[in-house]
Amino acid sequence: MSKTRLIVPDVLRGLAIVAMLIAHAVPFLPFVPRPVEFVMSNINDVASPLFALVMGMSAQLTWNAASRVGTTLLQQTIRGLVLIALGIWMTTWGAWVVIVLAHLGLLLLVGVPLLLLRTRWVALVALATVLVSDPVNAFARSQTWIATADPVIRFLADLTVLGTSYRLTNLLPFFLLGALLLRHGFARDRLLWTMAAIAPVAYLVRPIAERLAGQETTPSGAYTDTLHDVGLVFAVYVVVVLLSGVVRPVAARTTAAVFAPLRAWGQQALSLYLLHVGIIAIWVRTAGWPTETEPVGWALTVLLPLGAAWAWSRWVGTGPVEWIMGIVSARPKPLFRRERRPDAQPTTGVAN
């Protein structure tokens, strides 16, 4: 079995974690021009669905390499439970961040077994989830009794349908789509160009619908909000796949230089996330909520973690949290970087 890594999932995961770091650091920049605010809003919107997409790709890669269904299910279940536990623990840190790890943990628990289905059925489940997500979310929001229900019920409702920022009903379709794209291959074909055509149309549905209805905002998880996320994710995916297939020497070297840190950050996304939230929690305890522009706080929560992760990747290897996760889930990874053999080059997975 090949020991090379596909470039596309790592780069997408790197973009997702960078987007999440930038989104969480917005309180440090309360007064920015409207164009910058627009860009940061879109960066915030793309982070979680892009994470879900890459998780689906990674889960499918795990199934592709699996020799025993039961063992793989157990390992992925442990990973999901550990993410949920980490998410619960991190909510006690006191950061202003809406912690996504518990939602991603549940996504693994639900999504991984679904990938045992044939491709047609995975696609149908993804489509069905999209269709029922909006009415199911709206129905759950109308059930006022949930607010006073047992804490466990409230927690599960938050993870599945009531989360203010994240919920299973809206993350699962992107997870399944990621698996389907991995099965298809990262090819410059009709599917990729179709996604490129869909992206701007899907993105524009929400602002047009808001203007026609006279609304300032759209409820998170509504159909138009989902289409907005689809537009962003499709656009990012198409650009990354196209760039990863560049073969002209100068362009290829430039692309490789841009992708290198993104791949490193993508491979250490969990460690980066914990470090980033931890720094925000320390800031809140020592300085409170920012009331004016804080470039130092922004640099500490965005640039410092990214720099630390890049240095760790270059001089050590596997991210510390990823290393621990590997041990706990019985899928160990070497902590220290191994020198790459000349014949062990990464592969794009792109068909030209």
Write the Ramachandran bin of 349: left for phi over 0, alpha for psi from -120 to 50, otherwise beta: left
Instruction: Write phi, then psi, for 165 (nearest 5 degrees).
Output: -120, -35
pLDDT score, position 350: 47
pLDDT reading at 251 higher than 50: yes
312 found inside a domain: yes
pLDDT reading at 344 higher than 70: no
Q: Which residue range forms the structural domain that includes residue 274?
A: 7-328
- Find the mean pLDDT for residues 46-58: 97
Name which of 350, 91, 113 is nearest 242 in CA terms.
350
Give the burial string for 88-108 (b: 16+ CB within 10 Å, else e).
eebeebebebebbbbbbbbbb
pLDDT score, position 243: 95
336 found inside a domain: no
DSSP state at residue 216:
S
54 found inside a domain: yes
Asked whether the beta carbons of 119 and 180 are under 8 A apart, the reply is yes
345 found inside a domain: no
DSSP state at residue 347:
B
Asked whether the beta carbons of 102 and 159 are under 8 A apart, the reply is yes
pLDDT score, position 139: 95
pLDDT digits (tens, 9 = 90+) for 264-301: 999 999 999 999 999 999 999 999 999 999 999 999 99
334 found inside a domain: no
Number of domain units in the chain: 1
335 found inside a domain: no
pLDDT reading at 108 higher than 90: yes
342 found inside a domain: no
100 found inside a domain: yes
pLDDT reading at 21 higher than 50: yes
Query: Would you call 336 helix, strand, or coil by DSSP?
Result: strand
pLDDT score, position 338: 66
Asked whether the beta carbons of 333 and 322 are under 8 A apart, the reply is yes
pLDDT reading at 69 higher than 90: yes
Task: State the pLDDT confidence band at 330, using cuts at 50, 70 and 90.
Answer: confident
- Residues 83 and 241: their CA atoms lie apart, in Å, by 29
- Find the mean pLDDT for residues 32-54: 95
Q: What share of the chain in percent tops pLDDT 70?
A: 94
